[in-house]
């Protein structure tokens, strides 16, 4: 069975939860539901490798993030995940002001690379802070304005919708190796 390599790049502000997310999913499919102990991965160990198989193909997903010891700008990603912290409005603003612009200026083929927006730290969404609360509709709306292909939210700490988010990321990654590619047709899809 031929193995297809897919490079996935996670971008976003510091401390939005990228390392915790990668550390949690590195424990495998059985650890995606509910709470579990998380041992943080080390940045020097990048790329973080995940092996997937379906009936027809095998995939090797290589995850890199902005703390990649080399220059992440020199990578040639097949899928980009722009991450923000649901409890920090500034990370949502920077996603739109900084990170999508970085994608388009760094990767000349930025229009063909599928982009997913990932809202992390869903467990920290607070109803008591009216200024800091970011509802899914708002994250989705910003994703649409950025012309992202997909929008997902999850919590790596509690496991809240983590399995669904990871499955959507894996499906999109696998689609990058198909003739149709991983980009959505005509707009952002909410998962």
Structural domains of the chain in order of their starting residue, each with its CATH number: 3-190 (3.40.50.300)
Q: Are 118 and 48 in contact (CB under 8 A)?
A: no
CA–CA gap between residue 154 and residue 147 (Å, rounded): 21
Beta bridge partners of 80: 9, 115
| Neighbouring C-beta atoms of residue 68, cutoff 10 Å | 18
Q: Tell whether omega for the bond before 47 is within 30 degrees of 0, i.e. cis.
A: yes
Tens of pLDDT, residue by residue, the chain (191 residues): 678 899 999 999 999 999 999 988 888 777 777 887 888 888 778 888 888 887 788 899 999 988 877 788 888 999 999 999 999 999 999 999 999 999 999 987 656 899 999 999 999 887 777 666 788 999 999 999 999 999 999 999 999 999 999 999 999 998 888 776 656 665 545 55
What are the tokens at 76?
């040639």
For residue 171, give the H/E element and its range: helix 162-175
């Amino acid at each position: 069975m031929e193995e297809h390599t897919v490079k996935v790049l996670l971008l976003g502000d510091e401390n939005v939860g990228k390392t915790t997310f990668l550390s949690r999913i590195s424990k495998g499919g059985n650890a995606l539901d509910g709470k579990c102990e998380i041992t943080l991965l080390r940045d020097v160990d990048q790329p973080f490798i995940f092996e997937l198989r379906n009936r027809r193909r095998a995939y090797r997903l290589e995850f890199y993030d902005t703390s990649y010891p080399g220059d992440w700008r020199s990578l040639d990603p097949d899928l980009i995940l722009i991450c923000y912290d649901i409890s920090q409005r500034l990370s949502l603003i920077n996603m739109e002001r900084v990170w999508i612009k970085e994608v388009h200026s760094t990767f000349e083929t930025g229009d063909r690379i599928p982009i997913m927006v990932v809202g992390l730290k869903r467990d920290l969404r607070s109803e008591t802070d009216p200024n800091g609360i970011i509802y899914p509709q708002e994250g989705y709306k910003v994703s649409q304005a950025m012309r992202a292909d997909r929008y997902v939210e999850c919590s790596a700490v509690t496991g809240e919708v983590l399995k669904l988010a990871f499955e959507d990321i894996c499906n999109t990654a696998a689609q990058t190796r198909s003739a149709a590619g991983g980009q959505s047709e005509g707009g952002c899809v909410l998962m």
